Amino acid sequence: LRQVNQQLTEQSQRLYQASITDALTGVNNRAHGMQRLHEMVQARAAGRRQALILIDIDLFKSINDSHGHPAGDQVLVAVARALQQALPAGAELSRVGGEEFMVLLTDVDPRQLFDIGNALRAQVRAASVEVAGKRIAVPISVGICAIDDLPEATAQHAYVAADDALYRAKRGGRDCVCMHAPAAVDQASS
């Protein structure tokens, strides 16, 4: 009975892990990432400084169109690995869309967020991917929201603010970082 109970516990743990993991990249999936974002924002009252970073692979459709979907999958896996290598301790990475990733940070100095975003961008750029015998660079755009800067912090508000910053990075030429800055001038870098 003890052995059967242990097997059931192990199977339950494997099923839970599979339910929160993106099958392709091995990072958290969207549902788990969004749940963690909600939990993180709820903990805001505890005085913890938090941030949300959204990352989008620039011109990903052209990779799929030029090299095929298996190459696109290679790029997604390589980007996930590169991001994991550059994440600060305690950060959580999720794949939240086709070529979009989300990073959750807790107890982070807001003055370091821009540098963290640039470090992620540089790490992915340096980790070019070999596709059909050619190495291709993979630029990303990064949008950052310091959750404490939001007047009304909900998971939805944080996500929208980071998404707005991400699209400013896209419109600003891609391969750069933009911060959500409600009362200040945006920072951008490429």
Among candidate residues 80, 91, 93, the one with its CA nearest the CA of residue 127? 80
d(CA 38, CA 16): 19
Q: What whole-number distance in Å separates Cα of residue 71 and Cα of residue 2? A: 46
Can 99 be counted among the known catalytic residues?
A: yes
Instruction: List helix spans (H) across 55-97.
Output: 60-67, 69-86
Out of 39, 92, 99, 130, pick the active-site residue: 99
Is 53 exposed, middle or buried (CB count within 10 Å of its CB: 0-12, 13-18, 19+)?
A: buried
**Is residue 150 a contact partner of residue 179, using CB atoms and an 8 Å limit?**
no
The set of catalytic residues is 99
